[in-house]
Structure 1
């Protein structure tokens, strides 16, 4: 898929209700800080975890996010080509999520969440 053909949106344009967010970053990045309610499947594991992908809602877009937008663009292209989701890349990724002041949670108790 041509990069220009990958559906993309910005963090500021994301819906506030019923947001389905798929985070494709690595486990250490996820643990440091992620969006509340996001689903975590690292990019390299997508092909082997199609059963989990099939559980994502099919009545609305799945927004795919990584650190800055590169890995999520590849994941979006793959998900759409495979027919597994109506996927949309989130431009700027979690860095933009943080800049926009969206909530972050982390897995390390007593440590403020951050985007690696």
Structure 2
């Protein structure tokens, strides 16, 4: 997986097109954002809940962290790396970029969109 430091925040980031098929996609947005639309097979753990749910994260595959635009997810990646989870990377552009790239999305009801 080609990982490049994001100049704005110095955490490793990848583009939507670089997301590995076997990646664990961690969506750290709030519940209403998740309900509006999310990637299939993504796992939802709101940013504030990540520390308490750290043991739920895999240690055998890359973790791609996403939010709406990349700000919250970059903070989560920095925190995960400080905990020794070096396979965590930020999804550059977040779910906005995911949706713009035409990647699949689903919603709990209605047409999915990025909130």
Structure 1: 4+ residue segments shifted above 3 A: none
CA contact (8 A) 1:62 1:85 kept: no
CA RMSD of aligned residues (A): 1.4
- Structure number having the greater helix percentage: 1
Name 1:22's counterpart in structure 2: 26
Structure-1 separation of matches of 2:104 and 2:81: 27
Q: Which runs of 5+ in 1 are unaligned?
A: none
1:20-79 deviation line (CA, Å, top 9, x unaligned): 1000000000011000000110111111112222xx2x2321000000000000000011
Q: TM-score, normalised by structure 1?
A: 0.87
- 1:51 match: 55
Secondary structure of residue in 1 paired with 2:90: strand
Question: Residue 82 of structure 1 corresponds to which residue in structure 2?
Answer: 83
Which of these residues, 29, 33, 39, is aligned with residue 37 of structure 2? Answer: 33
How many matched pairs? 108
Query: Is the aligned partner of 1:7 residue 2:12?
Result: yes
